[in-house]
């Protein structure tokens, strides 16, 4: 984390669900690759949330996100403020071959994305042979992680349960949202010296370190 400063801190104590029938909008680094979908499921809820917008969860969750100063990486903090503890956060990362930061995960930008998952660290190989590109993600520890179908984005659980038989692979995860305990996701193409660990993510948002690596 040393040497990393935050250029933008966009805080939203509540955020909107996406418009029904429209592809969900992603949280994306301004100059990185790929994007993150955030969804909330359980307790009668199964909705995507938007990176910006109105209050749709009535202040029941808080989402903050921030870019690194080189705009190559993005970190997201999600906190369950008042939803039941059984509520699950469903996250999806994908669309790494988009030529420019995109508002959505487009299936055509997922075709050859390869996800290497090691605990809560994800290496993403994209680009093309002999011109390979590499991105990294950190996801909440304890997530149930699986490959999913990037063509099925109707709802968080629809994506999460869509299976890996697809030409548009994305990576999905599901983790319980314990009330008051933030979870973090980061995504981007950090330069080596700016690479960070999950335990360092809380400090980005002014919190004490998490013990998970």
Partner 1 sequence: MKKLATIILMAIAALATTPSLADTYNVRDFGATGDGVHIDSEAINKAIRAAAGKGGGTVYVPAGRYACYSIRMASHVELHLEQGAAIIAEFPTDSAGYDPPEPNPHSKYQDFGHSHWQNSLIWGIGLNDITISGPGYIIGKGLTREGDRRPGIGNKAIALKECSNVVLRDLGMVQCGHFALLATGVDNLTISNVKVDTNRDGFDIDCCKNVRINSCSVNSPWDDAIVLKASFALGYFKDTENVTISDCFVSGYDRYTMADASWQLDEPQAPDHGGRTGRIKIGTESSGGFKNIAITNCLFEHCRGLAIESVDGGDVEDVVISNITMRDIVNAGIFLRLGARMRSPEGTPVGSMKRIHISHVNAFGVDSRYSSIISGVPGHKIEDVSLSDISLHYKGGFKPEDASNPVPEQEKAYPEPWMFGTVPAKGFYVRHAEGIRFDNISFHFEKPDSRPLFVTDDADGLTFCGISEDGKPAMAAGNSPTAR
CB of 118 to partner 1, least distance (A): 5
100 lies in the site for partner 1, by CB under 8 A: no
CB of 157 to partner 1, least distance (A): 20
CB of 119 to partner 1, least distance (A): 5
Q: Where are the beta strands (DSSP E) in 129-168?
A: 131-138, 144-149
Which of 98, 105, 102 is closest to 39 using CA atoms?
Answer: 105
| Strand 183-188 with 61-68, pairing | unpaired
Residues 26, 74, 147, 170: which binds partner 1 (CB under 8 A)?
147
Of 125 and 152, the one with the shorter C-beta distance to partner 1 is 125
Contact 75, 32 (CB under 8 A): no
Is the CA virtual torsion 30, 153, 76, 188 positive or negative?
A: negative
Residues 2, 100, 165, 193: which binds partner 1 (CB under 8 A)?
165
Residues 169, 172, 173, 182: which binds partner 1 (CB under 8 A)?
169
Residues 7, 82, 164, 178: which binds partner 1 (CB under 8 A)?
164
Strand order in the sheet with 35-42: 45-49, 35-42, 88-94, 169-176, 144-149
How many residues touch partner 1 (CB under 8 A)?
A: 21
Residues 181, 191, 207, 213: which binds partner 1 (CB under 8 A)?
213
Q: Bin 211: left if φ > 0, else alpha if -120 < ψ < 50, else beta.
A: alpha
**Cα-based distances in Å from 78 to 59, 113, 165, 166, 192:** 12, 25, 30, 29, 26
Residues 43, 82, 114, 206: which binds partner 1 (CB under 8 A)?
114
191 lies in the site for partner 1, by CB under 8 A: no
Which range in 63-71, 151-159, 162-170, 180-188 contacts partner 1 by CB under 8 A? 162-170
Tell me the C-alpha distance between 25 and 103, whole Å: 5
Residues 123, 180, 181, 207: which binds partner 1 (CB under 8 A)?
123
Binding stretches for partner 1 (CB under 8 A): 112, 114, 116, 118-119, 121, 123, 125, 127-130, 132, 147, 164-166, 169, 199, 211, 213
């Amino acid at each position: 984390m040393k040497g990393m400063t935050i250029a933008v801190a966009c805080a939203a104590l509540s955020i909107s669900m996406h418009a029904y029938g429209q592809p969900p909008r992603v949280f994306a680094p301004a100059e990185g690759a790929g994007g993150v979908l955030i969804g909330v499921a359980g307790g009668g809820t199964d909705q995507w949330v938007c990176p910006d917008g109105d209050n749709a969860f009535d202040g029941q969750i808080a989402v903050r996100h921030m870019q690194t100063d080189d705009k190559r990486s993005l970190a997201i903090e999600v906190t369950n403020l008042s939803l039941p503890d059984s509520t699950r956060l469903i996250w999806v990362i994908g669309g790494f071959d988009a030529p420019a930061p995109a508002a959505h995960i487009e299936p055509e930008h997922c075709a050859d994305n390869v996800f290497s998952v090691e605990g809560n660290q994800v290496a993403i190989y994209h680009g093309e042979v002999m011109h390979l590109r590499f991105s990294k993600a950190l996801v909440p520890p304890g997530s149930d992680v699986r490959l999913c179908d990037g063509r099925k984005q109707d709802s968080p659980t629809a994506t999460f349960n869509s299976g890996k038989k697809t030409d548009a692979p994305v990576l999905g995860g599901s983790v319980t949202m314990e009330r008051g305990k933030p979870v973090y996701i980061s995504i981007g193409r950090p330069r080596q010296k700016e690479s960070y660990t999950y335990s360092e993510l809380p400090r980005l948002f002014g919190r004490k370190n998490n013990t998970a690596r």
